[in-house]
Amino acid sequence: MRSADRRLIVGISGASGAIYGVRALEMLQAQGIATHLVISKSAQLTLFHELGLRPADLEAKVTVLHHVNDIGASISSGSFRTEGMLIAPCSVRSMAEIATGITSSLLTRAADVTLKERRRLVLMLRETPLHLGHIRSMAAVTEAGAIVMPPVPALYTKPTSLDEVITHSVARALDLFDIDTKAIPRWSGLQAEK
């Protein structure tokens, strides 16, 4: 499938790490993949606090920006075809709503639709430490078909900046949708030093 024919839903929820969602949008735009963005109310606060950005500031990076309360949006229906959905970052609250199927916004409704249509749902969960309730929600979304992928740094790449760590985490999440951004070094095994 050509990049121009592909579309992915991106959700940014209220956990710390709004940069993960923004970087995903930038990388998807560079690949020519259409994006449908939805930002939770809490994420709007985090986005501004961490990056000084408002939702309108992201319009140039997306194909469609959906309002979190627009429950009638295209992405709220399974008949609207997508590659799936990435929530970056994903808060525990959003994950818990998805785990139970009791959704309160377009962000979690779109994720629920993604699961019911058996499409790929990747949650870049941002929480630590975890208590038993978190772990049970992680198990529930995994059993429903989601992939829980906390943005854990890959130190074998020997990153020299926070930007490299963020890019690597997001690129690995996009790998799960079979989107190769060519933005990261690939592991090729241990090589003897010469």
By percentage, how much of the chain surpasses pLDDT 70? 96
Question: In a 10 Å sphere around its CB, with 0-12 CB exposed, 13-18 middle and 19+ buried, how is residue 112 labelled?
Answer: buried
pLDDT digits (tens, 9 = 90+) for 113-165: 999 999 999 999 999 999 999 999 999 999 999 999 999 999 999 999 999 99
Q: What is the pTM of this model?
A: 0.95
Q: What is the mean pLDDT of residues 39-51?
A: 98
C-alpha span between 88 and 86 (Å, rounded)? 6
Bond before 129 cis per omega within 30 degrees: yes
Domains of the chain: 3-175 (3.40.50.1950)
C-alpha span between 13 and 39 (Å, rounded)? 6
pLDDT digits (tens, 9 = 90+) for 176-190: 999 999 999 888 888
Q: What is the mean pLDDT of residues 41-67?
A: 98
pLDDT digits (tens, 9 = 90+) for 81-106: 999 999 999 999 999 999 999 999 99
